[in-house]
Amino acid sequence: MPYNVNHIHLKYADPKKAAQWFQKAFNFTIVSETVRPFGDTFVITKSENGVQINISSERVTDGKKEHLNKADADAHYGLEHFGFDSVDIDVDIKRLTGLGAVLKEGPIRLGDGRAIAFLACPGDVRVELIQQPKK
């Protein structure tokens, strides 16, 4: 059995607002929004290539909200970032910063013709843009 990526799960104080940002920024499709038995708002989205990205708020147990540590869009241990392909990295950086992202690094032109950049998206989620070499 192959080990396919099933989903990525992001936590936000306002999952609906986050889902709408990713919809504008990366053409995500919002599939559903529910409140789960955990008491959290749970939004299911899909990327253009079908990867499911779940976005939820804090869970609530016995009337107490789950404590979440501060997000960190800088390089760090653990789940550090996720990447998106880009046809034109400079255009995408300009578009995404116009939507509220903050450029953290790049674009970095690699010796093999690729270019990469790292951005902090709203909620301090770190994403990478990857542009393949021009043919």
How would you write the pLDDT of the chain (135 residues) with one tens digit per residue? 676 787 999 999 999 999 999 999 999 999 999 998 889 999 999 999 999 999 999 998 888 888 889 999 998 888 889 999 999 999 999 999 999 999 999 999 998 899 999 999 999 999 999 999 987
Given this structure, which CATH class describes domain 82-131?
alpha beta
**pTM summary value:** 0.86
- Host H or E run for residue 94: helix 89-98
Q: Residue 48's pLDDT is what?
A: 95
Q: Please report, for residues 9, 26, 91, 109, 125, the alpha-carbon distance to residue 79 in angstroms, rounded to integers and kept in the order given.
A: 11, 20, 26, 24, 10
Q: Which CATH superfamily is domain 7-65 in?
A: 2,3-Dihydroxybiphenyl 1,2-Dioxygenase, domain 1 (3.10.180.10)
Q: Residue 37's pLDDT is what?
A: 84
26-33's contacts with Cβ under 8 Å and 24+ in sequence apart are 26/84, 28/53
- The answer to whether 128 and 118 have CB atoms below 8 angstroms apart is yes
Residue whose entry in the numeric block shows the structure tokens 């995408």: 92
Q: What is the pLDDT of residues 80-102, one digit of tens each?
A: 899 999 999 999 999 999 999 99
The span from the CA of 18 to the CA of 14, in Å, is 6
Q: Which residues of 13-30 are buried (b: 16+ CB within 10 A; e: fewer)?
A: eebeebbebbeebbebee
Q: Residue 1's pLDDT is what?
A: 65
Q: Which two tokens stand for residue 52?
A: 């499911």
Amino acid at 90: D
Domain ranges of the chain: 7-65, 82-131
The span from the CA of 120 to the CA of 64, in Å, is 29
Fold match between domain 7-65 and domain 82-131 = yes
